[in-house]
Amino acid sequence: MKEDVFNQYVERVLSLFNITKEEFFSKSRKRNLVDARQLVYYLCSQRPIQVIYIQKFMKQNGYDVYRTSITHGINIVSEKIIEDKDYKSIIQEIERVVHI
């Protein structure tokens, strides 16, 4: 069930950022890809999906990430939400359309 939620979040973020699944799970550190990954980490953490599961699901798709990187990404998005009201509305829209 948690994996289904994770996959739905990934699909919504891919669509929002106009990137492919291959790009998302690549080792690229391009800003838009990092932002997309951090957003998925944050959304999952709000479900709540534990960091260890987020790490596991990322690794299953070929992207090996440290737990500290996931936690850092969650914190970055939390700060962006406070600073940017538009960012918060984007997150609410994604959460609204993800079911389960």
| Three-point CA angle 72, 38, 29, nearest 5° | 95
Q: What is the pTM of this model?
A: 0.93
pLDDT tens string, the chain, 100 residues long: the values are: 899 999 999 999 999 999 999 999 999 999 999 999 999 999 999 999 999 999 999 999 999 999 999 999 999 999 999 999 888 888 988 888 887 6
Residues 77, 36 contacting (CB under 8 angstroms): no
* Three-state DSSP class for residue 83: helix
Distances (CA, A) of 98 to 6, 27, 47, 84: 10, 26, 11, 22
What single-letter amino acid sits at 50? Q
What pLDDT is recorded for position 86?
Answer: 87
